[in-house]
Chains A and B, each alone.
Chain A
Amino acid sequence: MSAPNCLRCLVRPSAGIPSSTAPRTAAHAAARTAAPLAPLAPLAPLVPRSAPFSTTAANARPKKEAQGKDSSKGHVRAGKRLTLGKFKKDRVAEKGRPPAPGERKAYRKRITLSNDNAIAVPWLTDLSPTDLADPANIAKVLALPDEVQDQLRASEAFKPTQCWGMFRKPAVLVRKETVDVMSRMQASVAKRQTLRLALTGDKVSGKSMTLLQAMTHAFLNNWIVIHLPEAQELTTACTEYAPVPGTEPAQYMQPVYVLKLIQAIKRANEKVLAKTYTVSAHPELPQNIPANTPLLALANVAKEPDAAWPVFQALWSELTAQGANRPPILFSLDGLAHVMKVSDYRSPAFELIHAHDLALIRLFADALGGGVQFPAGGAVLAATSRSNAPRAPSMELALAQREAEQAARQKGDVSKDGSKAGVPQRDPFFRGYDDRVEAVLRSVQVLRLGGIDKLEARALMEYWAASGMLRATVDEKTVSEKWTLAGNGVLGEMERATLLTARV
């Protein structure tokens, strides 16, 4: 045990060794242990020292000054060295806690649906079930009801790139194309048929938004909505996959994704699923589901990824059971190009798996291609994306063909067995076409979204102005200016030109 004071140098042991005297004191200590009776070393003159501790964190940090100086000095023969930023050395940037893993992404991907600082728009009314299909509502901005907001959020219909967070309440502009799609949906349900439609168009022209409006319409009319929010999540090999047993050629299920999907379906369609009952028993599931059980209970069976795919299959077979009392179904997908190509997954033989061999995508492709009959009708919608889209030449060609055929049909020149004037054909020198994709898209309808017209632009800008986001008088001049700057009324570009360009 050491004495409270070092008898030789009168320094308390709790104090650190002063750097100037360090070598000597070290020698001291050695001498003290080895030969307690060595003669007294010459005492270093004791300089007044500051307290050995401090309550301030910055001061309590051991000073590295002396060491730094030494190291920069180097050997005496090295000469004088250039020291850059010698005044900056001491300053240690106070860094806060670094964000936890995933925190940055969560912040980037968060969806804010309301802004309390925005002005509430007094004349804004909530959507009613028939509003979106009513031509009288064209060029009107209508709000999403709270309940539908929750449902849409559950099915991930909102995207972080959309400007929801600027307004008090989420609201949508009803445009001509909206009414067109909704009335097609209504018509097909009335005939118990399935509308199969691909939405395409320029960048930020509102494809995903039209999808969202279709989902809103479906939710408001008590449809069942199954939405695949990002097709790329299914094909870029970022979620687990496993072969479905007993399939030849092998198909692959994606249990984790499907579990998430089932939960989303459950949350979004809770009311409707609770009122829909199974027609057959499902003894193969982990929990026995007898006939006449609410579908909600069936969906609840999926608690682990292992059981997710069988449960989804059971749910799908129940939803498409012919002759049963079923609500109409909307099955939608965003980012069509990702599912119309070879995926990034590999088979056990290390061959790339075609996206249509992934079981969930095959389900969607079947439905889009017309292979599934919904008992009460419904719609299969797919939206292409222009910003995040791999090249899918067959898809592009097929959509262009369908569009040309539609245009020809509308013009009225009905050519027997398709003498196909003006319909684009395959490039004979290009090898990247995909027959499976073209087979799926052989009979879909295509709707091209372009710019909105000036009436709609005006309604939208009036809403922006009423929300306090646009601080300019909305007159013909402003409307046409923004309309032109936005490339003839491309909706997202109008937002960019008006809302996202800060001019203070």
Chain B
Amino acid sequence: MASVQLRLRGVSKSLNGRARQPLEQQFQSLRLTTPIVDGRRCLSTEADQTERPSSITAAPEVDLRQLAKRYKIAQNARPLPVSRSYFTRTPIFNDRYLALDHLAKTYSNLPVIPAADADRVSWKTLADLRQSFGEPVKATDYVKCLTIIKRLHTIHPELKPDAVTAALQDFKRDVQAFLNVANPIPIDKFGRALGVGKRKSSTARAFVVEGDGQVLVNGKTLADYFGRIHDRESAVWALHSTNRIDKYNVWARVEGGGTTGQAEALTLAIAKALLAHEPALKPALRRAGCVTRDPRRVERKKHGRVKARKGPTWVKR
């Protein structure tokens, strides 16, 4: 059987041939060298791996009869798995869980930082975990495991042991969205910050400089460009909601879409450029709804329908 080492009760260490391995090494036989092999468990129970080259090789067969000739006691020997979770349904997960548990106990005295200050990491979701381990992990176990993970993650980064870092690695998602940091918007030598905003099919670029509240959109004043008062208000909403309307001048180019889309694209553009000047305004702007891009677009038309959802007129025949 794979990953089973023969250990003889009462036989000395030398009999077993090797010194006691550290846990990691013991797990080596259970570990997949490439952690996720497209969700497929590729442990083989075959001793000879000639036909199929696999990363996992089974331990050589132990011939107890031969052994018993030399050591009588060997006739009572029985194989024991290295991993305690060998007989569970989810050995990969359980091994990691146990290891994490052990680490959490071992390093429980290390100082922790507030969770908010720790690096933001996107951990694998339950579905991801099941997919990558190829095991039917239980949700409750996942939650418990995640609690430990988060506890370990808050250990002070300068004191965090490498073992912890390595153990957590398996639970991180492959794509870390939090590592994507937007490039900071520079303020050029003229004091301008360029923000770009989009809404529906409009795109706006707004140059924001310190000034006294003048706004030019495509070379026209706000009143010239937007006939509706509502649109004008939307366009300068970022400045208005933060009481900065008389502190900055805006020079903007907008293209695409209709008036509403253009006005709301400007909201976003001005908000971003304003954030370059005053990053501390971010919470205020978020409350005013100026930070998040509205991802909605025109819904596509479907066949058999007049528009996206409108059904054709009912006709009797």
Give A contacts to B, CB under 8 Å.
Answer: 202, 451, 454, 476-477, 480-481, 483-488, 490, 493, 496-497, 501
Q: Is the CB of B224 within 8 A of A202?
A: yes
Q: Is the CB of B221 within 8 A of A487?
A: yes
Chain B residues with Cβ below 8 Å from A488 are 213-215, 221-223
Chain B residues with Cβ below 8 Å from A481 are 240, 245-246
A-B contacts, 19 listed (Cβ < 8 Å): A202-B221, A477-B243, A477-B245, A480-B212, A481-B245, A484-B214, A484-B215, A484-B246, A485-B232, A486-B223, A487-B224, A488-B214, A488-B215, A488-B221, A488-B222, A490-B221, A490-B223, A496-B229, A497-B229
Q: Is the CB of A483 within 8 A of B213?
A: yes
Return the contact of A485 from the options B212, B224, B229, B243 (Cβ within 8 A).
B229
Q: Is the CB of B222 within 8 A of A484?
A: yes
Cβ of B135 < 8 Å from any Cβ of A?
Answer: no
Cβ of B170 < 8 Å from any Cβ of A?
Answer: no
Interface residues of B in 206-265 (CB under 8 A from A): 212-215, 221-224, 229, 232-233, 236, 239-240, 243, 245-246
What CA separation (Å) do A493 and B214 show in the bound complex? 15
Give B contacts to A, CB under 8 Å.
Answer: 212-215, 221-224, 229, 232-233, 236, 239-240, 243, 245-246
Q: Is the CB of A484 within 8 A of B229?
A: no
Q: Given A476-B246, A480-B246, are A485 and B221 also a contact pair (CB < 8 Å)?
A: no
CB distance from A460 to the nearest CB of B (A): 16
Q: Is the CB of A480 within 8 A of B229?
A: no
What CA separation (Å) do A480 and B214 show in the bound complex? 9
What CA separation (Å) do A487 and B214 show in the bound complex? 8
Chain B residues with Cβ below 8 Å from A477 are 243, 245-246
What CA separation (Å) do A408 and B239 show in the bound complex? 37
Q: Given A480-B213, A496-B229, A497-B232, are A485 and B222 also a contact pair (CB < 8 Å)?
A: yes
What CA separation (Å) do A338 and B229 show in the bound complex? 30
What CA separation (Å) do A4 and B134 show in the bound complex? 107
Which are the 5 A-B pairs with shortest beta-carbon distances? A487-B223, A487-B221, A480-B246, A493-B223, A484-B213
Chain A residues with Cβ below 8 Å from B240 are 481
Chain B residues with Cβ below 8 Å from A484 are 213-215, 222, 236, 239, 245-246
Chain B residues with Cβ below 8 Å from A202 are 221, 224
CB distance from A461 to the nearest CB of B (A): 14
Chain B residues with Cβ below 8 Å from A480 are 212-213, 245-246
What CA separation (Å) do A233 and B246 show in the bound complex? 43
CB distance from B305 to the nearest CB of A (A): 26
Q: Given A477-B243, A496-B229, are A487 and B222 also a contact pair (CB < 8 Å)?
A: yes
The prevalent SS among residues of A at the interface is helix
Chain B residues with Cβ below 8 Å from A483 are 213, 246
Q: Is the CB of B246 within 8 A of A485?
A: no
Chain A residues with Cβ below 8 Å from B246 are 476-477, 480-481, 483-484
What CA separation (Å) do A497 and B246 show in the bound complex? 17
Chain A residues with Cβ below 8 Å from B239 are 484
Q: Which residue of A lies closest to B223 (CB)?
A: A487
Chain A residues with Cβ below 8 Å from B233 are 485
Q: Given A477-B243, A477-B245, A477-B246, are A501 and B215 also a contact pair (CB < 8 Å)?
A: no
What CA separation (Å) do A501 and B231 show in the bound complex? 13
Chain A residues with Cβ below 8 Å from B214 are 484, 488
CB distance from A501 to the nearest CB of B (A): 5
What CA separation (Å) do A480 and B249 show in the bound complex? 12
What CA separation (Å) do A485 and B221 show in the bound complex? 9
Chain B residues with Cβ below 8 Å from A476 are 246
What CA separation (Å) do A260 and B99 show in the bound complex? 103
What CA separation (Å) do A476 and B221 show in the bound complex? 21
Q: Which residue of B lies closest to A479 (CB)?
A: B246
What CA separation (Å) do A451 and B224 show in the bound complex? 12
What CA separation (Å) do A454 and B245 show in the bound complex? 13
Q: Give the residue among B212, B232, B245 with the most A Cβ atoms within 10 A.
A: B245
Q: Which residue of B lies closest to A204 (CB)?
A: B223
Chain A residues with Cβ below 8 Å from B221 are 202, 451, 487-488, 490
Return the contact of B229 from the options A451, A454, A501 (Cβ within 8 A).
A501
Chain A residues with Cβ below 8 Å from B229 are 485, 496-497, 501
CB distance from A450 to the nearest CB of B (A): 9
What CA separation (Å) do A485 and B246 show in the bound complex? 11
CB distance from A479 to the nearest CB of B (A): 8
Known pairs A485-B229, A487-B215 / 4 extra A-B pairs, C-beta < 8 Å: A484-B213, A485-B223, A488-B213, A497-B229
CB distance from A344 to the nearest CB of B (A): 29
Q: Which residue of A lies closest to B239 (CB)?
A: A484
What CA separation (Å) do A501 and B222 show in the bound complex? 17
Q: Which residue of A lies closest to B232 (CB)?
A: A485
Chain A residues with Cβ below 8 Å from B212 are 454, 480
Q: Which residue of B lies closest to A500 (CB)?
A: B229
What CA separation (Å) do A434 and B316 show in the bound complex? 64
Chain A residues with Cβ below 8 Å from B245 are 477, 480-481, 484
What CA separation (Å) do A488 and B221 show in the bound complex? 7
What CA separation (Å) do A26 and B229 show in the bound complex? 70
CB distance from B98 to the nearest CB of A (A): 62
CB distance from B172 to the nearest CB of A (A): 48
Chain A residues with Cβ below 8 Å from B223 are 485-488, 490, 493
What CA separation (Å) do A166 and B107 show in the bound complex? 76
What CA separation (Å) do A166 and B243 show in the bound complex? 29
What CA separation (Å) do A496 and B236 show in the bound complex? 17
What CA separation (Å) do A64 and B19 show in the bound complex? 113
Q: Which residue of B lies closest to A486 (CB)?
A: B223
CB distance from A374 to the nearest CB of B (A): 38
CB distance from A401 to the nearest CB of B (A): 22
CB distance from A470 to the nearest CB of B (A): 15
CB distance from B142 to the nearest CB of A (A): 52
CB distance from B229 to the nearest CB of A (A): 5
Chain B residues with Cβ below 8 Å from A487 are 215, 221-224
Q: Give the residue among B214, B221, B233, B243 with the most A Cβ atoms within 10 A.
A: B221
Q: Give the residue among A202, A476, A480, A486 with the most B Cβ atoms within 10 A.
A: A480
CB distance from B221 to the nearest CB of A (A): 3
